[in-house]
Amino acid sequence: MLSDIYSRAILVLDTRYHYSDIRRMTDSFKDKLGQDGFGGVFRGKLLDGQLVAVKVMRESKGDGADFMNEVASISRTSHVNVVSLLGFCFDRSKRALIYEFMPNGSLEKFIYKDKQLETSSSLPWEKLYENVIGVSRGLEYLHRGCNTRIVHFDIKPHNILLDEDFCPKISDFGLAKLCSTKESYVSMLDARGTVGYIAP
């Protein structure tokens, strides 16, 4: 099973890095951009100077099937409203995902007030509306536009990243599930997602 997923990921995405490459591109994890339930995200730079976001997963003792599932699912996507996966690292228990860098961070910081600073950056209503439309288009693509349907299960402001033009991009496919395009419903044995945002 894992070898099949791994083979599919390699066929679609041929940029595999060693953990030493990850350390070098992040300058030994110097600039942390954020944290989620699966690991930390760090600013990095490829050899050609391109800025990237490197998601370093917590060390895991499993066989890596969930990780390679995320690599395989997002590596086959290509949409203006879905973040692009540029590479990955799978060195035994060391795992990382290399994404395009989103200079404006997540949508979360533009719609929630910072409790410590008592301030929030805000976007005009027109831009927020464009974000809603963009996320909707991204979800429609994941559900209908891919060869394999991808159900995200954790759409929330924290997982919507904004590029330099504030164009929204869906990110964080850790809880995603691949489904056949012929299936009309998805059966789940357990709840997936963040409380308050869990898909019905």
Active site residues: 154
Query: What is the rounded distance in angstroms from the CA atom of residue 61 to the CA atom of residue 99?
Result: 24
Query: What is the rounded distance in angstroms from the CA atom of residue 71 to the CA atom of residue 15?
Result: 11
Report residue 46: phi and psi, to 5°.
-75, 170
User: Could you tell me the two tokens for 133?
Assistant: 């439309």
Coil, helix or strand for 114? strand
The DSSP secondary-structure symbol of 159 reads: G
Query: What is the rounded distance in angstroms from the CA atom of residue 155 to the CA atom of residue 160?
Result: 8
Q: Is 161 exposed, middle or buried (0-12, 13-18, 19+ CB in 10 A)?
A: buried
